[in-house]
Amino acid sequence: MNKALIPITITTLVTVAGVVAHAVPVAADPPGHRPVEVSHGRFGTLPDGADLGYDIRGRAVMFRTDADGGTTYVSIRVRGLDPDTTYKTHVHDLPCSSTPAGGGHYQHEIGGAVDGANEIWPTISTTSRGHGAGSAVHGERAREDARSVVIHWPENSAIRLACLDLS
């Protein structure tokens, strides 16, 4: 079930943030309706990241909603990375305390394509100061097994630099 990525704009982000800030469950909600769910966390540098000299700090937030057939939005802000670099970043299916940290990539369709449509890839691009941001929007509500976010090393994506648990 690969749905196309939804383009994100500042207006969309402000609208989603406004909805979340004012979301109040209403008694008239239909059975099975889930309002906007917000998960967030703080990055912790993993041992491999520390061995490479990183001290990564930052946050991520995930919004999940049933609106428009289901939507998931992930936003990341981070510092302590190399300047002017792109980092592969993925939502993972286990907590950071698992081995390996975060487990495998979360997939909308388990066992499906390994791509940005089936997985959530909020790729980070950094500034000249090593501050980075990334986001991803999907036309599907992520399940509860979207549990963490992992930043991978650009030189070797098997190396996990930092992880955060979504709670």
Q: Looking at the 3D structure of the chain, how many domains does it have? A: 1
Structure confidence at residue 28 (pLDDT): 43
Bridge partners of 32? none
Which residue segment(s) compose the domain that 147 sits in? 10-15+37-165
pLDDT at 2 over 60: no
Is 85 within the bounds of a domain? yes
Is 41 within the bounds of a domain? yes
**What's the rounded mean pLDDT across residues 68-94?**
96
Is 67 within the bounds of a domain? yes
Determine which helix (DSSP H) or strand (DSSP E) holds 47, and give its type and residue range.
Answer: helix 47-51
Confidence label for 4 from pLDDT (cuts 50, 70 and 90): very low
Structure confidence at residue 32 (pLDDT): 57
Contact in structure between 41 and 111 (CB atoms under 8 Å): no
The DSSP 8-state label assigned to residue 68 in this structure reads G
Is 87 within the bounds of a domain? yes
pLDDT digits (tens, 9 = 90+) for 115-143: 999 999 999 999 999 999 999 999 999 99
Is 3 within the bounds of a domain? no
Structure confidence at residue 117 (pLDDT): 95
User: Phi and psi of 134, rounded to 5°?
Assistant: -160, 155
Burial class for 97, CB neighbours closer than 10 Å (0-12, 13-18, 19+): exposed
